[in-house]
Amino acid sequence: MYVVAAPLAIPMAFKLWQPAPPDKSPADNHLPKLPWAQLAAPCLVTIFGGIVFYALIVELPYVLTEVGVSSTGTIGLVSVIMSLGTAVGAIVFGPLAGETPRVLLPFEFGLSAAGFLVVFASASPVVITIGAVLTGFGTGMLLPTLVTWAVKRLAFEQRGRGTGLWTSTLFLGEFASPLVLSAISTGAGGIRGALAVLGLATAIMAGLTAVVVRRNNRPLHVIESPHAES
């Protein structure tokens, strides 16, 4: 299965590019500090985003089994359909990348929340699939929005470390996702109840991002200093 990705190395060798770093004197070879306060909000939201992103990837087979689906082929097919929704969401992000996180995050979290609640509310495999696709589409847009939000105001020398920090928080959220849902399910009547709780929490996060995220957050040019703007 891992070999399938190998052919992707060929177009990447021709399409990926490395931005030229700015000219610096030897005295400027030390790396500038990361703006921790600036990264705090995107990284904290990303931990929650990782929980949301990974929830149905892990729990969807259990949900389908709970409503009576026993065929592994059917469970696999539903998971594939949800994954296609995630891929479409990632593709759709491209034309919308110029929008600010304040515009995109409420929509993405809101769509993910709606999908969780649809999965909770129905015992029909078809309706559960629709809910899973809604969540997949939302999270497909969510991850590129979060990483863009985290690094868009970082200078060239900061972006590698900023991306690494963001990735760490995403993986932390993904690792915590099944643990959090398992803990919630003990008091929520099962995994579908836990997804309902997560859906409500995700809807609240949609509202918070609509209010808290900066209204105007223009990307910084890749070789521009964060202090160069007047």
**CATH code of the domain containing 89:** 1.20.1250.20
Q: What is the pLDDT of residue 194?
A: 96
Residue 72 scores a pLDDT above 80: yes
Can you spell out the DSSP letters for the chain? -GGGGGGGHHHHHHH---PPPPP--GGG-SPPPP-HHHHHHHHHHHHHHHHHHHHHHHHHHHHHHHTT---HHHHHHHHHHHHHHHHHHHHHHHHHTTS-HHHHHHHHHHHHHHHHHHHHH---HHHHHHHHHHHHHHHHHHHHHHHHHHHTTS-HHHHHHHHHHHHHHHHHHHHHHHHHHHHHHHHHTSHHHHHHHHHHHHHHHHHHHHHHS-S--PPPPTTS-TT---
Residue 222 within a domain? no
Residue 215 scores a pLDDT above 80: no
Residue 136 within a domain? yes
Residues 75-132 have pLDDT tens digits of 999 999 999 999 999 999 999 988 889 899 999 999 999 999 999 999 999 999 999 9
Q: What is the pLDDT of residue 22?
A: 62
Residues 137-190 have pLDDT tens digits of 999 999 999 999 999 888 878 888 999 999 999 999 999 999 999 999 999 989
Residue 196 scores a pLDDT above 60: yes
What is the number of domains present in the chain?
A: 1
Residue 198 within a domain? yes
Residue 158 within a domain? yes
CA gap 132, 153 in Å, rounded: 33
